[in-house]
Amino acid sequence: MSAASKTYDVRTHGCQMNVHDSERLAGLLETAGYVDRASLPADERGEVADVVVFNTCAVRENADNKLYGNLGQLRPLKQRHPDLQIAVGGCMAQKDRDTIVERAPWVDVVFGTHNIGSLPALLDRARHNEEAQVEILEALETFPSTLPTRRDSAYSGWTSISVGCNNTCTFCIVPALRGKEKDRRPGEILAEVEALVAQGVVEVTLLGQNVNSYGVEFGDRLAFGKLLRACGDIDGLERVRFTSPHPAAFTDDVIDAMAETPNVMPSLHMPLQSGSDRVLKAMRRSYRSERFLGIIERVRDRIPDAAITTDIIVGFPGETDDDFEETLRVVRESRFSSAFTFQYSIRPGTPAATMPDQVPKAVVQQRYERLVALQDEISWVGNREQEGRELEVLVATGEGRKDRETARLSGRAPDNRLVHFALPEDLPEAERPRPGDMVTVGVTYGAPHHLVADSALEGGAFAVRRTRGGDAWAALQDKGAEGAVAKPGVSLGMPSIGAPAPVATTGPACGA
């Protein structure tokens, strides 16, 4: 069987960085002649792809169980299809290395976070040598954006501005797996964004482990704010988002850039982790609750409609009842629109793993439930306050699991709230909004975790604005096979990493 006829299936666990890395893995495999199994008609897909790639996460304790459970499910398929190749990459591969092949000897390739570009060659080598290939690099050699990419969406895209992390949070294993921060040159980032817009993308999310410390490598602490402003000058780019910033590096110039750049959306994900100053110190989070609340206050002063989300860890070693009450206090004062809440789990290799006073599981569970209940209450109040507002929603695919049974479509408001909206009952098929289009609707109900906008059924607001993003989505549907998943074609990578070379310029940095 030739490589051109082989299919692949990339399965992603973890953060947005992993999602974008998986787009690169898909681009590499497409360039090497493989075909996305999901792009084929259902009756041509076979029982399993020829190559299955797991792009893994190592942040939570259950990541190990999830990976080995999935690998176990593939073992009988491997026995039935000896030519099936299984590859494991990402943070878990970087951490566990040879352990993966020892625990799952039917795995063919293990590769790390620093060498995702090696995947096609490693697959070929494993096939030729008839033995597992494990290749883990300790440092990044080329910035991942130099690699070909096959994006998941025609109208929305990720752009990495940095990789790695210079912080030493005691609960986090990411710096050990992703390495020190490496920043891309501003001009290369903007060139990539412009290329995405030229392909029909109307929304771009800037990615980095600590996105707002961008510029540290080339000595410009204001570089991120300049980059946001420069994105505002890109014709056709309607929405700019970013994730995730670090409170310690969050400066007022970034707030100003958000407030003064129309296409930078009024949404901010600001990880709190704990409201207790004592716990924050033990976590090596270089800010305290007063500074965090000050940032929230300044953001809301400059951007009143901003929706702020967060991450919180419950049950960090040594956390007392008083510490947890401090977290509840900060959550009440912050009024987050939503929160990703986690029960602390030991990650081997982190300083927190060997700390004394590990909190009993039953105590952690009880605190976790109290925190979730409080945040749900706050989220619901915030969503009820949206009732009666008119919002422009970017129509999306796959956001509403019940859209078919409720006869609604779904998308995201400017502040990133999820909106399920109804269509007028007599709307002709040709006038239906497409994924990537913008729809103006009125919010009729604020549910705890989403908004409902049935204004079109009640004689209220409803207007469709066709966009180039919707055109790009529609063009893909025309080309795809029935029942297949249609994705944009492979785009070439863009170099490179390191401090920018000196160039003569007459304008400010980042074109701002």
**What's the CATH code of the domain at 93?**
3.40.50.12160
- Would you say residue 511 lies in a domain? no
Please answer whether residues 90 and 54 qualify as being in contact, where contact means their C-beta atoms are separated by less than 8 angstroms: yes
Three-state SS annotation for 44-57: HCCCCCCEEEEEEC
Domain match, 393 and 381 both: no
Per-residue pLDDT at 483: 60
Domain match, 381 and 394 both: no
Of the candidates 176, 94, 135, 184, the one whose C-alpha atom is nearest the C-alpha of residue 351 is 176
The verdict on whether residue 510 carries a ligand-binding annotation is no
Per-residue pLDDT at 100: 92
- Give the three-state DSSP class for 341: strand
What's the CA gap between 272 and 276, in Å, rounded? 10
Cis (ω within 30 of 0) for the bond into 5?
A: no
The whole-angstrom distance between residue 221's C-alpha and the CA centroid of its chain comes to 24
Per-residue pLDDT at 252: 96
- Would you say residue 490 lies in a domain? no
What's the CA gap between 138 and 218, in Å, rounded? 22
Question: Residue 36 is encoded by which pair of tokens?
Answer: 């996305």
Domain match, 428 and 396 both: yes
The verdict on whether residue 15 carries a ligand-binding annotation is yes
**Strand ranges of the sheet holding 267-269, from the earlier edge strand across to the other edge:** 267-269, 307-314, 338-343
Find the domain containing 403 and state its range. Answer: 389-482
Domain match, 117 and 218 both: no
The verdict on whether residue 172 carries a ligand-binding annotation is yes
Domain match, 269 and 121 both: no
Decide which of 112, 135, 158 is a domain's last residue. Answer: 135
164: left (phi > 0), else alpha (psi -120 to 50), else beta? left
Per-residue pLDDT at 497: 42
Instruction: Please tell me the total count of domains within the chain.
Output: 3
- Would you say residue 497 lies in a domain? no
CATH of residue 194's domain is: 3.80.30.20
The verdict on whether residue 57 carries a ligand-binding annotation is yes
What's the CA gap between 251 and 56, in Å, rounded? 32
Of the candidates 90, 25, 86, 30, the one whose C-alpha atom is nearest the C-alpha of residue 63 is 90
Q: Is the dihedral of CA 337, 343, 348, 352 positive or negative?
A: positive
- Would you say residue 498 lies in a domain? no
What's the CA gap between 165 and 16, in Å, rounded? 15
What are the tens digits of pLDDT across the range 434-469? 999 999 999 999 999 999 999 999 999 999 999 999
Domain match, 241 and 181 both: yes
Of the candidates 12, 15, 10, the one whose C-alpha atom is nearest the C-alpha of residue 342 is 15
- Would you say residue 467 lies in a domain? yes
Domain match, 34 and 66 both: yes
In the numeric block, the tokens 């797996």 are attached to 177
In the numeric block, the tokens 């400059």 are attached to 302
Per-residue pLDDT at 507: 38
Domain match, 178 and 95 both: no
What's the CA gap between 105 and 165, in Å, rounded? 32
Decide which of 385, 405, 438 is a domain's last residue. Answer: 385
φ/ψ of 137, rounded to 5, equals: -95, 150
- Would you say residue 45 lies in a domain? yes
- Would you say residue 494 lies in a domain? no
Where is 35: in which H helix or E strand? Answer: strand 35-36
For the chain, which ranges sit under pLDDT 70? 1-4, 61, 141-142, 480-484, 492-512
Residues in the chain: 512
Of the candidates 383, 405, 397, the one whose C-alpha atom is nearest the C-alpha of residue 453 is 383
- Would you say residue 1 lies in a domain? no
Domain match, 242 and 377 both: yes
Per-residue pLDDT at 509: 37
What are the tens digits of pLDDT across the range 208-251? 989 999 999 999 999 999 999 999 999 999 999 999 899 999 99
What's the CA gap between 264 and 228, in Å, rounded? 7
Three-state SS annotation for 397-451: CCCCCCHHHHCEEEEECCCCCEEEEECCCCCCHHHCCCCCCEEEEECCEECCCCE
Domain match, 181 and 271 both: yes
Alpha helices per DSSP H over 32-90? 62-80
Domain match, 399 and 357 both: no
Domain match, 159 and 188 both: yes
Q: Pairing mode, if any, of strands 307-314 and 156-160?
A: unpaired
CATH of residue 436's domain is: 2.40.50
